[in-house]
C-alpha cells in the first residue's frame, strides 16, 4: 500500500459544524470551509486574478455532462452552471431558517458525502469520518439503519433507501456524490441500488451524480447475523445466541426478510455504479470477510470499475481509522483526487 503524503488526521479541524436532523435516519451536516470547486471551477484561489470566484477557465471534470459512457465519469469538456435553484428553499427537509443563509440546502454546490453508518454507531466515532470530508469542503448526509429496520427490511431498510433517494432527487444541487458505507451500511447501499433499479427512470437519473464509492468493512448477507450480534451486545455468549436466533429467523421469515437481504446482496455484487471504488478491510476483522471483498472487487472490475483495495494487518471491524488514521485518510483522499472531486 503506497501512501499519499497529503493529510494527517491530527491536523483535522475540531470546530462544531452546522447540522440539520431530517429524521431519525438522516442527518445533514454542512461544511464551513470554502468550496474547493463549484460548477464553474476552482473557488477562492488567491493565485488567480479573481480571488473571490476562482478561475472560470478551469472546469471540474467531475460535474460536467455525464454523457453516454461510464456513468461515474463526466465529460470534462463541459461545465454545468445550472445546478439547483438557489432561489427556493426545500420545505421537505427541516427549516432552513435555523441556519445562516449560507447553509440553505438549495443554494449549496458542495460535493456531498453520504455516510452509511454501521449499526448503533456512536456520534463521536462517526465524527472522525465526517471531519475528514468536512475539511475537504464536503457536506455530509449521515444515514442510520436501525436494528429492526435491518431485521424487517420491507418496512425498514427499503424505506431508508427511499428516503435517501428522495432527498437526492429533491436536492439536485448536490451534483457530486460520494458514498462511504460501513459494515451493514454496505447492505443498506444494496437496498438503495435495488430501489434505483426498480424505479426505472425516476431514480436512475441520479446515476451520473455518483462520483466515488468507499466501503469500509462491508458485510454480506451471510455476515449480517454476526454484525447484528456485535452491535447488540459485547457478551460473546449472547452474541452466539443472537446469531442462532437470527439464522432461525432467516429460515422461518424468508419471505419477509431473508429474500430482501439476498436481493440487496445481489444488487451490491452487480453494482451498476461504475465510478471509482475503494474497499477497506483488515486481516484482523472477524466480521467482514476478505474473500467477500475480493469477490466483490472482481465482479466490479469485470464491469469496468476502477477498484482499489486497502487491507490493514490487525485493525478490528470498522476501527481501521482508529489504529491507522493517516493511512486511512490518505487512501480516501487518493480516491477523491482520482474522482477529481478535490485538487
pLDDT digits (tens, 9 = 90+) for 50-76: 333 333 333 333 333 333 334 434 333
Per DSSP (E only), the strands in the chain are 18-21, 26-30, 37-38, 41-42, 112-116, 139-143, 177-182, 210-216, 277-282, 307-312
What does the pLDDT read at residue 224?
65
What single-letter DSSP state applies at residue 2? P
pLDDT of residue 32: 86
pTM to 2 decimals?
0.74
- How many residues appear in the chain? 343
Angle at 220 between CA 218 and CA 221, to 5 degrees: 145
Q: Which domains are present in the chain?
A: 9-338 (3.40.50.1820)
CA 146, distance to chain mean position in Å, is: 17
Dist. CA 175–CA 280, nearest whole Å: 25
**What integer pLDDT is reported at residue 324 of this predicted model?**
97
- The pLDDT of residue 57: 37
Those residues with Cβ within 8 angstroms of residue 126's Cβ, 6 or more apart along the chain or in another chain: 115, 117, 142
Q: How far is CA 287 from CA 124, 182, 314, 321, in A?
A: 22, 12, 13, 17
Helices 224-232 and 236-252: crossing angle, nearest 10°?
Answer: 140
How much is the pLDDT for 33? 64
Interhelix angle for 325-338 vs 123-134, to 10°?
40
Query: For 193-230, what is each residue's pLDDT tens digit?
Result: 999 999 888 899 999 999 999 999 998 766 667 766 77
What is the rounded CA–CA span in Å between residue 308 and residue 334?
10
Q: Which residues does the chain have with pLDDT short of 70?
A: 1-15, 33-104, 221-224, 227-228, 231
How far from 89 is each of 52, 142, 226, 240, CA to CA, in Å? 25, 21, 42, 49
Amino acid at each position: 500500500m503506497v501512501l499519499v503524503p497529503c493529510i494527517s488526521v491530527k491536523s483535522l479541524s475540531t470546530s462544531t459544524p452546522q447540522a440539520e436532523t431530517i429524521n431519525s435516519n438522516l442527518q445533514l451536516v454542512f461544511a464551513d470551509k470554502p468550496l474547493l470547486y463549484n460548477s464553474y471551477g476552482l473557488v477562492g484561489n488567491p493565485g488567480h486574478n479573481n480571488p473571490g470566484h476562482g478561475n472560470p477557465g478551469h472546469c471540474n471534470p467531475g460535474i460536467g455532462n455525464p454523457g453516454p459512457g461510464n456513468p461515474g465519469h463526466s465529460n470534462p469538456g463541459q461545465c454545468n452552471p445550472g445546478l439547483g435553484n438557489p432561489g427556493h428553499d426545500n420545505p421537505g427537509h427541516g427549516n432552513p431558517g435555523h441556519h445562516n443563509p449560507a447553509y440553505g440546502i438549495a443554494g449549496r454546490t458542495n460535493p456531498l458525502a453520504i455516510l452509511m453508518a454501521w449499526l448503533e454507531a456512536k456520534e463521536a466515532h462517526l465524527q472522525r469520518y465526517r471531519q475528514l470530508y468536512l475539511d475537504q469542503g464536503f457536506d455530509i448526509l449521515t444515514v442510520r439503519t436501525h436494528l429492526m429496520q435491518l431485521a424487517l427490511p420491507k418496512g425498514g431498510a427499503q424505506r431508508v433507501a427511499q428516503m435517501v433517494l428522495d432527498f437526492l432527487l429533491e436536492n439536485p444541487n448536490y451534483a457530486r456524490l460520494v458514498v462511504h458505507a460501513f459494515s451493514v451500511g454496505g447492505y443498506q447501499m444494496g437496498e438503495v441500488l435495488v430501489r434505483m433499479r426498480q424505479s426505472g427512470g425516476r431514480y436512475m437519473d441520479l446515476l451520473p451524480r455518483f462520483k466515488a464509492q468507499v466501503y469500509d468493512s462491508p458485510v454480506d448477507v451471510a455476515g449480517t447475523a454476526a454484525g447484528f450480534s456485535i452491535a447488540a451486545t459485547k457478551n460473546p455468549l449472547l452474541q452466539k445466541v443472537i446469531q442462532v436466533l437470527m439464522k432461525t429467523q432467516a429460515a422461518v421469515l424468508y419471505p419477509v426478510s431473508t429474500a430482501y437481504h439476498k436481493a440487496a446482496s445481489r444488487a451490491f455484487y452487480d453494482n451498476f455504479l461504475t465510478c471509482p471504488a475503494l474497499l477497506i478491510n483488515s486481516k484482523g476483522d472477524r466480521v467482514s470477510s476478505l474473500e467477500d471483498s475480493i469477490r466483490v472487487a472482481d465482479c466490479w472490475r469485470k464491469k469496468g470499475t476502477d477498484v482499489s483495495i486497502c487491507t490493514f494487518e490487525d485493525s478490528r471491524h470498522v476501527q481501521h481509522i482508529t489504529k491507522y488514521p493517516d493511512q486511512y485518510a490518505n487512501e480516501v483522499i487518493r480516491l477523491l483526487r482520482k474522482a477529481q472531486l478535490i485538487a
